A and B are shown apart, each in its own frame.
Chain A
Amino acid sequence: MTFPLEVSELQFRYQGSETNILRGVNLKVKKGEILALVGLSGCGKTTLCYCLCGIIPHVIQGDYKGKVLINGTSASEMKLPGIATKLGIVFQDPDTQLFAPVVEDEIAFGPENLCIERDEIGKRISEVLKQVGMERYRLGSPAILSGGQKQLIALASVLSLHTEIFIFDEAMSQIDSEGKRSIKEMICQLKNLGKTIVMVEHDFENLDIADRIMVMRNGILEPYNGVLK
């Protein structure tokens, strides 16, 4: 059986560091599953996300061992543009993701690079801005939005890619309670469409939509048993 995401014996050590942050991570995520990852700050959750989306080893280098498979193909052997057609990631800090001077350009950038037709891109922009409740900011600048609003635009940009796999790395951390409710509903709709979702979370109130919760401890993943340490 091929899983959308499969990780086996993954180890990683950042350049200049003496210890491995990932020490043999094993994981299989099914199609249509919402998997939540929890763990203490600095335990390696974001590093794992970077490995899942190919940023490690393609952009960030270090000592990398083991395998990450996206739909059965090794992420380290795929090119980043190829990975982007299969997997979208929303980073922890929206400022690292947003770069365009206008919100609609920001959202159009991904689909444009996937050579999607203009009319379809226009439709997707309207659709995703509605999904995140930011329609009125379409022609505004992301630079003057609040932290939470930037996070919503980063989310919209990734949703516009229409990928099969989504990774949300604390994607709701700056969003107000009303926004969180609607994002959680949206994630459930994605699940119902058969999308595969990995969400890193510190806020346990957001975990009610997860099918499975794993905790990152000492560089490995284990089923969550109510304890983070």
Chain B
Amino acid sequence: MEENNNIPYIKMQEAAFRYPKGDFVIENTSLTLFQNEFTAVTGPNGSGKTTLGKLIVGIVKPDCGSVKILNRDTREMTLGEIGKKVGYLFQNPERQLFSMNIREEISFPMEIRGIPKEKIKEKVDEMLETFSLTHLEGIPAFKLSRGEKQRLAIASILVNNPGFFVMDEPTTGLDAERKKDLSELISNLQDKGIGMVVISHDLPFIKQHADRTITLSGGKIIDDSR
């Protein structure tokens, strides 16, 4: 594997994780992720892809070894602190939407940070426009289609301006048109310098974007190529 000379954004060292009463899902894994790269994580079902993503963003903490974001151990960071550095899109966007109202869903992270109302309104309008959600504003979030819920979830993550974004199976449930829209969005985020890890077994999608592809099997990295 060719080396990347940039500063690591996320560094995992000899990290291992298992769920209570389960086998190890991730076994002694070391991995360095850079902001100037699109890294794809692929592998068969149950190989540990989603768990690796959750370790990267501190939703689960390693049983041994460490995961560091910009040199800080995720065990010492709150999820709020992590959310400002790394965004995480769940495999099922429904899991991260909680507001009845689209505007509230996007404004929530800014409200808890005490950002002035006028600025929040401006930013929400901008996000609704960017993610083609303006025409859906009156509809309760739970009534949106899967593609629409995903766009809303992404908008809510990006208002935090994270430097890194982890997406778990983002093409699931998207039709060809929506996949094209997602591709454009990813390219825009790459242009803005946001580092990206995309967990997927949609190989054509991965090939289109990835600078680096990591293949997992049985909780271990079996291939890492640029």
**CB within 8 Å of B: which residues of A?**
14, 16-17, 38-42, 92-93, 95, 140-141, 144-149, 152, 170, 173-179, 202, 204, 228-229
CB contacts (< 8 Å) of A17 on chain B: these are 143
Which residues of B from 98 to 152 have beta carbons under 8 Å from A? 140, 143-148
Residue among A41, A92, A148, A229 making CB contact with B45, cutoff 8 Å: A148
11 interchain pairs (CB within 8 A)?
Answer: A41-B175, A93-B94, A145-B46, A147-B45, A147-B91, A147-B92, A147-B169, A149-B45, A174-B45, A176-B44, A202-B173
Contact B49 A146, beta carbon cutoff 8 Å: yes
Bound complex: CA of A147 vs CA of B199, how far in Å? 12
Q: Is B1 an interface residue (CB 8 A)?
A: no
Given A41-B145, A42-B145, A42-B147, are A228 and B175 neighbors across the interface (CB < 8 Å)?
A: yes
Given A93-B94, A95-B92, are A40 and B50 neighbors across the interface (CB < 8 Å)?
A: no
**Most B CB atoms within 10 A — which of A141, A176, A178, A204?**
A176
| Distance (whole angstroms) from the CB of B23 to the closest CB of chain A | 10
- The dominant DSSP class at the A interface is loop
Q: Is B80 an interface residue (CB 8 A)?
A: no
- How many CB-defined contacts (below 8 Å) exist between A and B? 76
Bound complex: CA of A146 vs CA of B46, how far in Å? 5
Contact A146 B173, beta carbon cutoff 8 Å: no
Contact B146 A41, beta carbon cutoff 8 Å: yes
Contact B148 A174, beta carbon cutoff 8 Å: no
Bound complex: CA of A141 vs CA of B21, how far in Å? 10
Contact A41 B46, beta carbon cutoff 8 Å: no
Cβ proximity bits B22-53 to A, threshold 8 Å, 1 near / 0 not? 10000000000000000000011111011000
Closest to A95 in B: B92
Contact A149 B173, beta carbon cutoff 8 Å: no
Contact A92 B146, beta carbon cutoff 8 Å: yes
| Distance (whole angstroms) from the CB of A93 to the closest CB of chain B | 6
